[in-house]
Amino acid sequence: METKIFKMNGTASGSVNLDERVFAVKAHPQTITDVVKAQLNNERQGTVATKTRSEVSGSTR
């Protein structure tokens, strides 16, 4: 499988041969969705915290 290589200004600068076994597969929409969700979830900071009973000021009633 041959594909073109483009420069930043949009002009073609050459071509490269790609392995058919890797790049000629059909894309499955569910797989793409799963990968995008995983990437977005990995970007989260995860710094959320809640106060324990001893950290709350005032009455617990």
pLDDT tens readout for residues 18-60: 999 888 888 899 999 999 999 999 998 888 889 998 888 887 6
Q: pTM score, two decimals? A: 0.44
In a domain, 36, yes or no: yes
Report pLDDT for 22. 87
State which residues form the domain around 33. Answer: 2-42
In a domain, 33, yes or no: yes
Whether the pLDDT of residue 5 is over 70: the answer is: yes
Q: Which of 18, 25, 19 is nearest to 3 (CA)?
A: 18
Residue 7 has pLDDT above 80, yes or no: yes
Phi-psi region of 46 (alpha: psi -120 to 50; beta: other; left: phi over 0): left
Instruction: Report the pLDDT value the prediction gives residue 17, as an integer from 0 to 100.
Output: 94
3-class SS at 17?
strand
The partner residues of 10 in beta bridges, in order of sequence, read: none
Number of domains in the chain: 1
20 in a structural domain: yes
pLDDT value at residue 1: 87
